[in-house]
Chains A and B, each alone.
Chain A
Amino acid sequence: NAGVTQTPKFQVLKTGQSMTLQCAQDMNHEYMSWYRQDPGMGLRLIHYSVGAGITDQGEVPNGYNVSRSTTEDFPLRLLSAAPSQTSVYFCASSPRAWVVGNEKLFFGSGTQLSVL
């Protein structure tokens, strides 16, 4: 079972470049989300989606775009990379749009991004 798959694992960008971080899940989960992890700050929500065609902003959305054209895929786009976006990015999914019972987030393996 693949679960949540993120690509690439590592990426180095120059300031101003654009790129897309890919996230795919094969569990038919309604909910998908992107987090960034910075030292001493835990994980902060960037964007999330409660289903195909529906996205919304989290705590730190500036500089990032998302779309959800299919249930499986939830790419994160950096339009013009800045050094402040150097971080580790995690994609996560959950079965339903609203958490019920003991449902939880399933995480991908992460993408380490450096912006020079």
Chain B
Amino acid sequence: ELKVEQNPLFLSMQEGKNYTIYCNYSTTSDRLYWYRQDPGKSLESLFVLLSNGAVKQEGRLMASLDTKARLSTLHITAAVHDLSATYFCAVDTGNQFYFGTGTSLTVIP
């Protein structure tokens, strides 16, 4: 059974601080996704990481992928309140997508 695990599940951080969310998965996959979900809303794509060593950055968020370790990280730099949301990672097997449990991030002023 394919598993996608995220940690932490809940994260409360002060504005201006840095932190990393981790995503481990149990199958070989060259592709990993990060999504953001605001409360009561749908999922919005943040990043698609396509290969080992891939790194993508958008604003204060940077995602990386290590396919050998089956690990992806989402690094938050100098957090601001607008980043408060739930973040999901996901992998695919071609035609099935498997999501992590999500990390609920709260940025405190």
Which residues from chain A contact B33 at a C-beta distance below 8 Å? Answer: 104-105
**B98 and A45: CB pair below 8 A?**
yes
A30 to B42, CA, bound (A): 21
**Which of B14-22, B43-51, B71-79 lines the interface with chain A?**
B43-51
CB-defined contacts of A56 to chain B, threshold 8 Å: 95
Residue on A with the closest CB to B56? A102
Q: Is the CB of A90 within 8 A of B45?
A: no
Contacts A43-B43, A102-B48 aside, 6 further interface pairs with beta carbons under 8 A come to: A41-B101, A42-B102, A43-B88, A98-B94, A98-B95, A105-B43
> How far is it, in angstroms, between the C-alpha of A90 and the C-alpha of B4 when the chains are bound?
19
Which residue of the partner chain B has the closest CB to A56? B95
A contact patch SS: loop
Q: Which residue of A lies closest to B31 (CB)?
A: A99
Q: List 16 A-B contacts (CB under 8 A).
A: A31-B95, A33-B97, A42-B99, A45-B97, A48-B96, A92-B97, A98-B95, A101-B50, A102-B48, A103-B48, A105-B43, A105-B45, A105-B97, A108-B42, A109-B42, A110-B42
- A106: chain B residues at CB < 8 Å are 45
Chain B residues lying within 8 Å of A48, measured Cβ to Cβ, are 95-96
Interface membership of A116, Cβ < 8 A: no
- Judge if B92 is at the interface, Cβ distance under 8 Å: yes
Choose from A35, A41, A97 the contact partner of B95 (Cβ within 8 Å). Answer: A97
Complexed CA–CA distance, A22 and B90 (Å)? 24
In which size bucket is the chain A interface?
Answer: 20 to 34
By a CB distance below 8 angstroms, the chain B residues around A45 are 96-98
Q: Does any Cβ of B come within 8 Å of A53's Cβ?
A: no
A43 vs B90: C-alpha distance in the bound complex, in angstroms? 9
Provide the B10-49 mask, 1 if CB < 8 A to any CB of A, else 0. 0000000000000000000001010000000111110010
Q: How far is the CA of A104 from the CA of B99 in the complex (A)?
A: 13
Bound together, the chains give a CA A41 to CA B6 distance in angstroms of 11
The proximity string for A residues 48-83 relative to B, scoring 1 for CB distances below 8 Å and 0 otherwise, is 101000001011000000000000000000000000
CA distance A59 to B92 in the complex (A): 13
How distant is A43 from chain B, measured CB to nearest CB, in Å? Answer: 4
